[in-house]
Structure 1
Amino acid sequence: MKNVTWTVAFALMTLTLPAMAQDFRFTGTATTDDGGVIYQERHSVDGTCQDGVFRPRLHEVAYHKPDGNESFARKVLEYEASVLRPIVNFVQPTFDEAMEITYPEPETLAIKWRTPAGDSKQFQVEYPDNTVVDAGFDNLVRQNWQRVVAGESVDFRFLGPTRGEHYGFVIEPVTSNEVEADHVVQLRPTGMVLRFLVDPIVLGYNRNGALTDYYGLTNIRKNQDTNYTAHIRYSVDTYPDCELTP
């Protein structure tokens, strides 16, 4: 009888325990096609383990020049409401640029962008449930991990924040000369016009579901008019104590 009582008590106690806080740390090094280092990204993701799978809560990124101790740009992503559509706060002081993405109403997002030219632009954008914002694409890949590793495609909408619009995209398997990883996919626009204007982004993942490579257009400015296109190679500093993929 005592054993039964202790078993029931333990079960009730574990039901009331909160999800354990976890840390996920990784570093990315962005290089040009000839191997020159442009900058480094230092990622810190705080989250929880839910049903044995990591769920991000707060993601901070500090961007550093190769020889710089102080960051030249920063980004904060808050995933409280959705892992696909974080609140975004990005600043790039070198170009006096700042962007904020929030969600003032259900199914509506707001963009505030201070451009390098000194202009201030604002957008209100209605979106469907399959819309992805910023680094939410990484969580989309992991949410659909079994489909991705099986070579299936995943359709979604991707926010173009500087245009105040979202566009049709697809995650699909690809063979790449630039990226070598356990699993390689690309994010490709599906609209005919955008396919001619925007190059796909190629992503590499390891068997654990961690991003190893990003090859494509970045959010870091090369000059006032253009952003860097780079190959970013990631290394994990700290894994959470639960799986990254379901």
Structure 2
Amino acid sequence: MKTFVCMAALALPASALGSEIRFVGTATPIDGGDALYQESHVVTGSCQQGQFNPESHSVEYTRSNEGAFATKDLSYTESALRPTVDFRQPGFSETLDINNRDDETLEIIWQAPSGSTEEATLNVSSSLVADAGFDNFVRQNWKTVVENGESVEFEMVAPTRGDYYGFTLEPASDDRIDADHVVRIRTTSRLLGFLVDPIVLGYNSDGLLTDYLGLTNIRENEDANFTAHIRYDIEAMPECELTP
């Protein structure tokens, strides 16, 4: 990855260099068609020993005819894999909070479009992943999955169910994704596999997400979320490496 550093930054230790990732995603139907919405992402962090360490992440969801209709804010203070999450989708009166308590428990509060509120507390394990933590999980396992072509098992939080389930991250190929590397996240449960399609992800050679193909967190209606292909345009990269 090419590195561009201003002269003032050269006087700072590597651990103090600030970094930011900016990217914009456009979601379209799986089979093609007009854009459903856009996502504007800003991930801030720092370079520590030459590698990017995420600290916070904000997302604004917009449509051309109505502007912002949903927001998400994440904090990676406790864990890069299990962020604290604050998600708001006012048009459906939906909110989701995932609070990481000292990386020992995750407290989940979901206000559903129906008006009901569901709460759950999950114990944390080292292989538990929540929300956008999947992106950091892929990079942490880059050598195993992308370079060596092996698979890794983990658990993913299903916040609206107040539980977590077993999944596998593995190399993949998909004609719908034009990326340097393609991986897939699929459930290890045969029963759940009939209900949940795999998520397919594209990454460039630097370890930045370029494609997401699967179920999203944005509602199509009160009963279902969009399934979409999100293509990401990278606007800013960190000054250090993303993968080990």
In 1, the alpha carbon distance for the partners of 2:240 and 2:161 equals 37
Q: Could you say what secondary structure the match of 1:71 adopts?
A: strand
Q: Which residue of structure 2 aligns with residue 147 of structure 1?
A: 144
Alpha-carbon distance change, 221 to 244 in structure 1, aligned in 2, over 3 angstroms = same
Matched, 1:92 2:89: yes
**Residue of 136, 149, 154 corresponding to 2:133:** 136
* Equivalent position of 1:190 in the other structure: 188
Where 1:137 maps in the other structure, the secondary structure is helix
- Structure 2 residue identity aligned to 1:92: Q
Cross-structure match for 1:66? 64
Structure 2 gaps of 5+ residues are 1-10
Q: RMSD value over aligned CA atoms?
A: 1.5
Q: Secondary structure, in 3 states, of the residue corresponding to 1:37?
A: coil
- Deviations along 1:141-163, whole A, 9 cap, x unmatched? 00111112221111110000011
Give me the TM-score of the superposition, normalised by structure 1: 0.90
Structure 1 pair 141–18 and aligned structure 2 pair: CA distance change class (3 A): closer
TM-score by length of 2: 0.91
Preserved CA contact (<8 Å) 2:209 2:232: yes
Is the Cα contact below 8 Å between 2:197 and 2:214 reproduced in 1?
yes
Q: Which amino acid aligns with 1:161?
A: P
Moved over 4 A (4+): none
2:160 matched residue in structure 1: 162
- Name 1:19's counterpart in structure 2: 16
* Structure 1 counterpart of 2:220: 222
Q: Which of the two has higher C-alpha Rg? A: 1
1:104 corresponds to 2:101: yes
Residue of structure 2 equivalent to 1:202: 200
Deviation (angstroms), 1:129? 1.4
Q: CA deviation at 1:67?
A: 3.7
**How far has the Cα of 1:23 moved from its partner?**
1.1
Q: How many Å apart are 1:106 and its aligned residue? A: 4.8
Q: Secondary structure at the match of 2:135?
A: helix
Tell me the residue number matched to 1:6: none
Structure 1 alignment gaps of length 5 or more? 1-12
- Whether the 8 Å contact between 1:37 and 1:66 is mirrored in structure 2 is no
Identity of aligned residues (%): 51
The 2-side partners of 1:207 and 1:76 are apart by 27
